[in-house]
Amino acid sequence: MGSGEMFLMSKQGKTGGKATILALGKAFPHQLVMQEFLVDGYFKNTNCDDPFLKQKLNRLCKTTTVKTRYVVMSDEILNKYPELTIEGHPTVTQRLDICNKAVTQMAIEASQSCINKWGRPISDITHLVYVSSSEARLPGGDLHLAKGLGLSPETNRVMLYFMGCSGGVAGLRVAKDIAENNPGSRVLLATSETTIIGFKPPSIDRPYDLVGVALFGDGAGAMIIGSDPDLTIERPLFELHTAIQHFLPDTEKIIDGRLTEEGISFKLERELPQIIEDHIGGFCDKLMGGIGERDYNNLFWAVHPGGPAILNRVEKKLELLPEKLRASRRALADYGNASSNTIVYVLEYIMEENLKVKGEGDPEWGLILAFGPGITFEGILTRKLV
């Protein structure tokens, strides 16, 4: 059989055991925040009138390029838990009470949306991979999600906690391995995040808190992953090839998060974008080796939008055309950095743009990338099937 015939078979959906993304779904809390109104609302809610901090947050809100975000936080929550706005008050119990319920509900809604698009019954799901950096409990969110969806008690579950922004791609890598090593399996990957776990009043001693206020959003994402799709029912979107995880030694303090009595406290060092720029080329070259491609602009790019500085550094280092990161920038503008969820939103925008182009000059191969604590690089070589 010639290579042309192999290519045709793959395009028809016979993926030769390679895992494929079969459906995407997302969900959000009800509170939509417009970026231009965020500063006044945040300072009012936290009873702060510091003009210096307010000016700083105004600047940050403009540089993040975020326009809208969804958040769990509401007046109702603040009225019920006013201690969340008090500096130094132990509130981790209250935060987890809110977060545990919220992330489960969002994960259920995103998963249901994804399953509806997939087209097969929920009883066909054999495995669940659950990702979150916004909760802590026993049993974990994986069990609560399985129960909320009505999954079979025999569903095999994997839970990934506190992987931050790289969690979505890490979960996809794990789901890929499960699908390829368990013939006939169908894996539900669900991610869910809320910023309430780290919500705090502004403080001159914690400047990064303001970056989080200006950048991060809440929501959930979901995917169905499986090999050898049934083309009478399923519509494979992406085929997953080489998957790599790599951490950079001695960089574990660059992204530092601690669970304290006041919730999660984050510290992000300024050199993060530079570190990513210094290592992104070699990491991508390893992923691209499987197809022998040398030109970065011959690929499509699904990059987790950690922030505009990271996207700008990746674009600059790889000499990407401006449109190559358009899906990532759109996701950042519309949803903020929603941590592990955001890669789902980026992939949806790539599919949307693919329909507009209708295959004319649209790259077949691409990279799914994310960067998280460690510093950890996650990447998957991917092929579009539609």
pLDDT tens profile 311-329? 999 999 999 999 999 999 9
C-alpha angle with apex 232: 225 to 173, nearest 5 degrees? 10
Q: Facing residues of 23 across strands?
A: 224
Q: Facing residues of 238 across strands?
A: 21, 384
Give the separation between CA 326 and CA 320, rounded to whole angstroms: 11
pLDDT tens profile 140-174? 999 999 999 999 999 999 999 999 999 999 999 99
pLDDT tens profile 66-105? 999 999 999 999 999 999 999 889 999 999 999 999 999 9
Q: Look up 48 and say whether it is catalytic.
A: no
Q: Is 1 exposed, middle or buried (0-12, 13-18, 19+ CB in 10 A)?
A: exposed
**Window from 261-275, 351-365, 371-385 with minimum mean pLDDT:** 351-365
Amino acid code (one letter) for 17: G
pTM of the model: 0.94
Give the separation between CA 324 and CA 327, rounded to whole angstroms: 8
Confidence check: pLDDT of 13 > 60: no
Amino acid code (one letter) for 96: L
The H or E element containing residue 67 is none
% of the chain exceeding 70 in pLDDT: 95
Provide CB contacts within 8 A for 331, sequence distance 6+. 305, 342, 345, 346, 349
Q: How is residue 193 written in tokens?
A: 């995040």
- Residue with tokens 């280092």, as numbered in its chain: 317
Q: Which of 99, 114, 165, 284 is catalytic?
A: 165
What are the backbone dihedrals phi and psi of residue 319, each rounded to the nearest 5 degrees, phi first? 55, 50
Give the separation between CA 179 and CA 34, rounded to whole angstroms: 39
pLDDT tens profile 131-140? 999 999 999 9
**Contact between residue 344 and residue 221 where contact means Cβ atoms under 8 Å apart:** yes
Q: How is residue 62 written in tokens?
A: 């403009």
Confidence check: pLDDT of 2 > 80: no
Specify whether the backbone of 348 is left (phi greater than 0), alpha (psi in -120 to 50) or beta: alpha
Give the separation between CA 67 and CA 63, rounded to whole angstroms: 11
**Contact between residue 313 and residue 276 where contact means Cβ atoms under 8 Å apart:** yes
**Contact between residue 304 and residue 370 where contact means Cβ atoms under 8 Å apart:** yes
Q: Which alpha helices (DSSP H) does the chain contain, by range?
A: 3-11, 35-45, 51-63, 75-80, 92-118, 141-149, 167-181, 207-215, 272-288, 308-318, 326-335, 342-357
Q: Half-sphere exposure of 271 toward its Cβ, with a 13 Å CA cutoff? A: 8
Mutual angle of helices 35-45 and 207-215, in 10-degree steps: 130
The total of other beta-carbon atoms located within 10 Å of residue 148's CB is 16
pLDDT band at 4 (very low <50, low <70, confident <90, very high): very low
Cα 277 versus chain centre, distance: 20
Give the separation between CA 229 and CA 233, rounded to whole angstroms: 8
